[in-house]
Amino acid sequence: MGILKRGENWYIDYYCGNRRKREKIGPSKSLAREVLLKRQSQASEKKFFPERAKSSISFTQAVEKYWKLEGQYLKAKGSRAVFKALESRFCDKKLAEVSAADLQEFYNEKTAATSASTANRILAFLSPVFNRAKEWGDYFGDNPVEKVRRRKPNNHRLRFLSEAEIKQLLNVAETRIRPVLTCAILTGMRKGEILGLRWENVDLEHDTIFILESKSGKPREIPIGKKLKEVFLGLRPKSIGSVFDMPEITLRRQFARALKNGKIQEFRFHDLRHTFASHFVMRTGDLPSLQKILGHSSPQMTQRYAHLAKEHLAAKMDKFDASMPVESADLSQDGHFLDTKLKIETQKTVKNAYN
C-alpha cells in the first residue's frame, strides 16, 4: 500500500474497509501523497461510501442540470461552449469519478494549448457544478476543482498595431468587417460589446455610445469621434436593432484572413483594444479618461499603459525644449560661459579626482 509509479504516472494503493482500491493520480508525486492521505482519512472516518459513488449522476447529467437551473444567470456568452467542451472530455465518467488528477491533466493541456488565463476561467465555470450538485444531493464528495494547482496568468502582454499596421489591416480587411474593426480601434470596445451593440444605445445626436452592461458589471459611456460617426452613418442607422448584425464565427474567420493577408503576426482581436488605449495615451497622456472609456474598475488596470504616457510627455518636453529661446550654454560661478560639453567633461574630471 502507498504510492507507486508506473510509466510517467503515480498511483495510490489503499484499503477502504475490506476492499483494496487503487487510483491513478497523474505525474505529480506530491499530489499523489495528498490524495492518499485524504483517502485514508475518509476511510478511517467512514466518510467514503462506495454506494454513494455508484449512485452519483454522470458528469454530463450534472453539467446539463446545472445549465438548466443556473445557466440563465451566467453573463459570459461563451459559457455554453465551455460546458460542451468539458462534457466531451468527461462524458464517460460519473461525477464522483472525476478526480483532481483528471482535472489537473485537463488543466495542464488547456494551459499549454491556450493560456493559464483561459484554463483558469474554465475551472471557474466548472467549480460551481460540483458545489451545486452537492447541494442538490447528486454528489457527496469534495470539490476536486479546488485541488487543481493553477498557474498565475501573464497579463503583461501588450501588443498593439502601429499606424502603418492599422492602415494595412483596414486595407486588406473585407468590406463587411471593416466597420467592426474601425469601431474597435476608435473606441477600445470589447468584441462582445461591439457585436452586441444596438442602435438603441447609439446616440448620434449627442455622439455617445452607451454600454449598459460591461465586463465589470457597470454601465459606461463612450464618446463618438467624427470618423466613427461617419462609419455609423454609412451603416444607415435604425431606431432599433443590431448595429453590425454579424455572427461571431464570421468575424473570427474574416479577421484571421485579414491578419494573414496583411502579414500581421501574433495579434488577437482583443489587441485592438490595446491598440486604441496605446494610441490614446500616446496622443493625450490622459490615463484617468482612458480608465473611464475602457471601463476599468480600478486605476491599476490602466497603469499598464502608463509607460506610453511617460514617453508621450518626454516627446512633448523635447518639442518644448527645442522651441525655447535658451542657448545651450551655462554660466559658471566665475562669470564665464562654458560649453555644455566642456562643462560635463569638467564635472567628470572633478568626480574622478574625489574617487
Q: What pLDDT sits at residue 123? A: 92
Mean pLDDT, residues 260-274: 92
Name which of 64-68, 75-79, 95-99, 232-236 the model is least confident about: 75-79
Q: Which cell numbers in the block locate residue 68?
A: 438548466
Does residue 339 have a pLDDT over 60?
A: no
Nearby residues of 271 by Cβ (< 8 Å), 6 or more positions away = 159, 160, 161
**What's the angle, vertex CA 300, arms to CA 211 and CA 295, rounded to 5?**
5
In this predicted structure, the answer to whether residue 315 has a pLDDT above a threshold of 80 is no
Instruction: Report the CATH fold assignment for 53-155.
Output: DNA polymerase; domain 1 (1.10.150)
Confidence of residue 127 (pLDDT cuts 50, 70, 90): very high
* Range 231-260 burial, b when 16+ CB lie within 10 A, else e: bbeeeeeeeeeebbebeeeebeebbeebbe
pLDDT tens, residue by residue, 83-123: 888 888 898 889 988 999 999 999 998 888 777 888 898 99
The topology under which CATH files domain 163-314 is hpI Integrase; Chain A (1.10.443)
349 residue type, one letter: T
Confidence (pLDDT) at 337: 47
Beta bridge partners of 331: 337
In the block, which residue shows the cell 452519483?
Answer: 56
- With 80 as the cut, is the pLDDT of residue 43 above it? no
pTM: 0.55
pLDDT, position 348: 57
pLDDT interval class at 44 (50, 70, 90): low
Q: Would you state the cell numbers that stand for residue 187, as one nine-digit string?
A: 473606441
Between 280 and 332, the higher pLDDT residue: 280
Of residues 119 and 155, more confidence is placed in 119
